[in-house]
Amino acid sequence: MATDARFSTTLASNPKVKKLRNRLGADGCWAWVCLVLWVASDRSDGDLAGMDDEDIELSADWRGEPGAFVKQLVSLRMLDGEESERSVHDWAEHNPWAAGAVARSEKSRWAGLCKQHGRAEAARQMPEYAKRLAEAGHKQPPSEPEPAIGQPAAVPDSASGTPLAETGSAPLLSLPFPSSPLPSPPSPAPTPIPVAPQPPPAPRTRKPAAAAKEPAPSTAAWNAYADAYELRYRSEPVRNAMVNGQMAQVVARLGAQEAPHVATFFVGHNLQMYVRDMHPVGLLLRDAEKLRTEWATNRQMTATKALQTDKTATNFGAFQDLIAEAEAMERNHAQQ
């Protein structure tokens, strides 16, 4: 999810914007700005598939004649496609940062999974992303092999005009005198110097391989919570030291086996307070035992249900005395 959108400095002089203002007034231009901001936040790829024209106008906060706003956007080619299959025209070109939000989110999640669980587990949890990475790797051209150590790299003829010597170590200079060597007197043979024998080197001790680090007890609960949160809100939840500590306390109170199920159940809970605060881990920790009972019984206790239960109990208490009095009168008549 992107938190901003890009507008060109030529927006006011754009012919399409001018036509939109002439046809729908300033409200139409403002609705277009609102629509661009909403798309950047909730449909960052610019694809509005699945939304009918009324949904689009609601997202743009259009308050004029129903259908008029989308009709003019399609006429001006500011929207492409048919109803329920529309998209913003040239969205990736005009808002590349927002268009890449999903890719950046996938890349960040992939890197986190690889760091925490390894590449194999990351590929299991994100198979489509792993497949795209593999296909991209096959399409890259193979790199040229580097020269072996001790062998000179090939030098093109145009790199130097000086011919190399046969050994390839130094150039042959053009001397102004004959290049044939002059005879020199023989040098005396060197006297050998005795060398003391050296002890064999001590064998190197290798460090034992580090054991694979076991995942934290709260890892499964966090993964379940994060997957459910991203499915509901189309955004990854915030994770920091405080959130990690809260999730660890949830696991300590509910157990490692039940905590992931309760975390998933919590994100789907429609209690007004949970929805208003967008299901933070702090509320999961606060109501851990309550949520565990609701998960086990598959019943959500909302404020409305609690109020209905309270009213039922109050009514029962009000009529309980009358019922007892009527039963007593019936017993008296029976005795007479």
Query: How many Å separate Cα 80 from the centre of its chain?
Result: 28
Under 8 Å between Cβ of 65 and 55: no
What is the reported pTM? 0.36
Structure tokens at 293: 């009972």
The predicted structure's pLDDT at residue 156: 46
- Is residue 133 packed enough to be buried (19+ CB in 10 Å), middle (13-18) or exposed (0-12)? middle
Helix, strand, coil proportions of the chain in percent (round to 5)?
A: 55, 0, 45
Q: How many H-runs (helices) and E-runs (strands) does the chain carry?
A: 15, 2
- In the prediction, which pLDDT does 222 show? 94
Query: Which of 91-119 are b and which e, b meaning 16 or more Cβ less than 10 Å from the residue's Cβ?
Result: beebbeebbebeeebeeebbeebeeebee
Residue 87's DSSP bridge partners are 47, 80
Which of 274, 273, 272, 264 minimizes the C-alpha distance to 231? 264
Could you give the CA distance from residue 266 to residue 278 in angstroms, rounded to a whole number? 11
pLDDT in tens, 34-47: 999 988 888 888 89
From CA 309, how far away is CA 288, in angstroms rounded?
22
pLDDT by residue, tens only, the chain of 336 residues: 567 787 888 888 999 999 999 999 999 999 999 999 988 888 888 899 999 999 999 999 999 999 999 999 999 999 999 999 999 998 888 888 776 667 777 788 878 888 888 888 888 888 888 888 888 875 555 544 444 444 444 444 444 444 444 444 444 444 444 444 555 566 666 666 666 667 777 766 666 655 666 788 899 999 999 999 999 999 999 999 999 999 999 999 999 999 999 999 999 999 888 999 999 999 999 999 999 999 999 887 766 666 776 666 666 666 677 777 778 888 787 776
Structure tokens belonging to residue 229: 């949160």
Secondary structure element (H or E) that encloses residue 118, with its range:
none
